[in-house]
Structure 1
């Protein structure tokens, strides 16, 4: 099976707003709802699992009230890597052959088309893991900051792994699209996103 794992348990301290980051509104719609809608429209994803933590109780409450065909999974929220390891252990106990597409709740512009493109590439690449990267020029063009780059590439927050908690042989896919650079970590990011909203959602 192909699962989408929507990561929504982080503290989101860089955004500096009085609400949990997954519930931060872009054009009056919570960030997490954009991501969830785009995942739900995928033709390849079988089920969505949303990882929350004690840092995001209002997000869990919002999701419970929202309803829908998804599962909520409680994680520690200690760090991204700690939660990732927990999630891989959780799925490995069920099967070591499932495909897990990880996506952060602060990526409202990653389209269903791009999600399915990444999954199709993964299924044909022959590797257990796939990371997607964005050229640093995309960030510079938008006036966005980034926390890490290597050889001119920035990780996008959209990755695919097999459901087994070991170091996995990885392929890399470079996607020069602005939608993968617009993760909403700061108020500057949100202002850029507001300006570009109508290009993606009309």
Structure 2
């Protein structure tokens, strides 16, 4: 399965004041956020090729992926800056993906190859053409996060995690999706604030021993 990393967004005021204003390039333990996601996808057994979709707002991100030694086998797709959905559709068309594709945000530095493989495996067992990963709102609140998007699924409030699998053949259509509910930190903790960044740093340092 191919993977598309969405990396076109500009960061919040924190990221703008502290750096380039490009969220994918915010440093975590000395590395850009986007490098964690790409490294994980490279080590996943389920992913065969990686595309990174950028926008006019993130020139440094595009340059980093195009020129970094470890990114030689990653393809960059410059999108026109139509917003998340518009740029995603543009990217999948540009990559000529006509099969299921994993789409992931660039601000999930804790994601692991095992988690990617688990999500793909569950998708392959489902009949729906699409899958979306969510987490309970209660889990986000425990972590002090303030999600901007919340859905009600059979009475349970859930939050999208920024990981989806879509059928590339149907990318211009609304696709029925299976809501995969997970509470693992790997998918729950994305970086939107200084506190998120510090929390991820602590977890990564613990992982490294």
TM-score (norm 2): 0.88
Equivalent of 1:29, from 28, 31, 56?
31
Partner of 2:63: 61
Following superposition of structure 1 onto structure 2, how do residues 126-145 of structure 1 map, counting pairs within 5 Å?
126-145=127-146
Local SS of the residue matching 1:156: strand
Query: What runs of 5+ residues in structure 1 fail to find an aligned partner?
Result: none
Cα RMSD between the aligned structures? Answer: 1.6
Partner of 2:167: 162
Deviations 1:29-55, CA, capped at 9 Å, x for gaps: 111111010000011111000111111
Aligned length: 198
Following superposition of structure 1 onto structure 2, how do residues 3-82 of structure 1 map, counting pairs within 5 Å?
3-16=2-15, 17-19=18-20, 20-66=22-68, 67-82=71-86
Query: What runs of 5+ residues in structure 2 fail to find an aligned partner?
Result: none
TM-score (norm 1): 0.91
Paired with 2:206 and 2:183, the residues of 1 have a C-alpha distance of 16
Local SS of the residue matching 1:152: strand
Deviations 1:120-176, CA, capped at 9 Å, x for gaps: 111110111000001122212222221122232110001000002211121111111
State the shift of 1:61 in Å. 1.0
Q: Is the 8 A contact 1:38 1:112 kept in 2?
A: yes
Paired with 1:95 and 1:154, the residues of 2 have a C-alpha distance of 27
Q: Is the 8 A contact 1:32 1:105 kept in 2?
A: yes
Say if 1:201 and 1:128 are closer, same or farther in 2 by CA, change over 3 A: farther
